[in-house]
């Protein structure tokens, strides 16, 4: 004769506690596993370049580049060349800009960093009589290493090349900053700025013009801007490979 099976109250409560503990442990394990698949911020290879050059425009800037291609630029200096650096009324212009590097540019930068030994050794040249062109610092960080070197001038080919490339990127971003300002406040100044930008680009002193593609496209699409100016912006877009 079969007997009915029924859990006593204390047995049922114990079973619920055990099941809750098991589910909680399982959820924690799954969460920890998912978290382990997300790289920590410090594990993402990151290169930073800073330049400090009092009296120049801008006087300070930094570029932070992740191996994913995501990048951030920040600069500050006097609002215009006419502003006196010693004047209490001088207006400081701060510029922050997030952008994405073209894959080929990002790859070149990190390849050059590797060739330079990730700046673990002093890269500065000790030759006397070199003109001051700004205090520069290259830094690299990933899960295994963290190093940096500060210099005015270097004779290491990989460092020379990466410095030139990063300065050209900064020049591109500063053009974008001025174009954005002119587009909002003084459209008649756009043509001269774009003409200057074309000349600099012709001399290969700009890099990754695609980083400022949005502002160039805004100028091209603005019917209130004269056709010649819009054509300059269009040529720069086409020369950058942005369509």
More reliable by pLDDT, 50 or 24: 50
Q: Which 8-state DSSP code applies to residue 118?
A: G
Angle at 189 between CA 184 and CA 193, to 5 degrees: 105
Residue 86 has pLDDT above 80, yes or no: no
Give dist(CA 99, CA 89) in Å, integer: 32
Give dist(CA 169, CA 146) in Å, integer: 24
The residue-averaged pLDDT of 65-74 equals 97
* pLDDT tens-digit readout, 220-234: 999 999 999 999 999
> What pLDDT shows up at residue 85?
47
- pLDDT-derived band at 14 (thresholds 50, 70, 90) equals low
C-alpha Rg value of the chain to the nearest Å:
27
Q: Which 8-state DSSP code applies to residue 88?
A: T
Q: Which of 215, 231, 194, 170 lies closest to 48, judged by CA?
A: 170
Note the pTM of the prediction, 2 decimals.
0.79
Give dist(CA 207, CA 186) in Å, integer: 26
The residue-averaged pLDDT of 128-149 equals 94
The residue-averaged pLDDT of 104-110 equals 97
Give dist(CA 146, CA 119) in Å, integer: 9
* pLDDT tens-digit readout, 33-44: 554 454 555 689
- pLDDT-derived band at 240 (thresholds 50, 70, 90) equals confident
SS3 sequence of 44-72: CCEEEEEEECCCCCCCEEEEEEECCCEEE
| Residue 132: partners with Cβ closer than 8 Å, 6 or more residues away | 152
* pLDDT tens-digit readout, 161-190: 999 999 999 999 999 999 999 999 999 999
């Amino acid at each position: 004769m079969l007997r009915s099976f029924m859990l006593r109250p204390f047995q049922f409560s114990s079973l619920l506690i055990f099941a809750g503990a098991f589910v909680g442990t399982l959820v924690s394990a799954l969460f920890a596993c998912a978290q382990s698949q997300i790289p920590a911020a410090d594990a993402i290879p990151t290169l930073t370049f800073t330049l400090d050059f009092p009296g120049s425009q801008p006087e300070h800037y930094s570029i932070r580049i992740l191996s994913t291609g995501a990048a951030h630029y920040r600069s500050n200096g006097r609002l215009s060349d006419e502003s006196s650096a010693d004047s209490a009324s001088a207006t400081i212009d701060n510029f922050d800009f997030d952008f994405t590097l073209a894959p080929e540019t990002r790859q070149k930068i990190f390849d050059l960093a590797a060739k330079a030994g990730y700046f673990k050794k002093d890269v500065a040249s000790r030759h006397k009589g070199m003109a001051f062109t700004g205090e520069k610092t290259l830094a690299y960080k990933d899960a295994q290493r963290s190093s940096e070197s500060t210099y005015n001038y270097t004779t290491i080919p990989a460092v020379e090349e990466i410095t030139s490339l990063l300065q050209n990127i900064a020049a591109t971003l500063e053009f974008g900053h001025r174009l954005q300002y002119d587009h909002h406040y003084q459209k008649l100044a756009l043509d001269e700025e774009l003409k200057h930008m074309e000349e600099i680009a012709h001399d290969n002193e700009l890099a990754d013009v695609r980083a400022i593609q949005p502002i160039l496209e805004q100028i091209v699409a603005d019917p209130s801007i004269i056709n010649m100016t819009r054509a300059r912006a269009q040529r720069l877009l086409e020369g950058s490979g942005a369509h």
